[in-house]
Amino acid sequence: YGYNNVPRKVPSTNTYGKQLPLNKISDLLRGEIAQAGFTEILTFGLCSHAEAFAKLNRQDDGQTAVTLANPKTLEFEICRPCLLPGTLKTMSNGQQMPKPIRIFEITDVVLKCSDNDVGAMNRRHLCAMYGGMSSGFEVTHGLLDHIMSMLDVKLDAKDGYALAEAKDGAFFDGRCAKVLYKGEEIGLMGTLHPSTLEAFDIPFPCSALEIRLDTVTGV
């Protein structure tokens, strides 16, 4: 036994590593969004149950969030099912910064999945938020159009992306839209509801966008 006892030999095959396609596209999008005036953030992969559901006025169906069996603190009870809670907490902690505040994050969320042997799966999401004297819904909408343009996805309900009216507890009724890609829902965008902002101690209006990237990028 021992590492030094392993015989040295030249491998019979020549291999080389490269970046995963999804990670490469994510890095390219980070650069594009940063050039659009948004600041990248990095949040925790765990959050509390209340932050992911009650504070967003969303119901827990029991089939979404991966719950920790023995959490050490109340702030880290589940794996984040979406990026919105972490982005809201960052906006709250940075509210003293000059307005408007533009932040974004591209990373994985964790969801329950009975098809996987571990019972869960990772999914790449993009979340962006704007806050200031106005909600800036037109800014987040423009960012979505810019992202789709960079991905060469056209505004087309059948073969590209489109927006449709939606209802979600975290957003204002009538100011919330679901993002569709080839007819499949891939995310939400809209003006955040005052109760959501109050739950995270944010005193000014905000708008947010969250979409999944694995579907729209095709990798």
Give the Cα separation of 182 and 31 in Å (integer): 26
CA 205 – CA 192 distance, rounded (Å): 7
Give CA–CA dist 77/61, Å, rounded.
16
Q: DSSP letter at 169?
A: T
pTM: 0.90
| pLDDT tens readout for residues 147-158 | 999 999 999 989
Please choose, from the candidates 96, 122, 102, the residue with its C-alpha nearest in 3D space to the C-alpha of residue 41: 102
Percent of the residues in the chain that have a pLDDT greater than 70, as a whole number: 100
> Average pLDDT of 75-88?
95
Read off the pLDDT of residues 85-139 as tens digits, 9 standing for 90 and up: 999 999 999 999 999 999 999 999 999 998 989 999 999 999 999 999 999 999 9
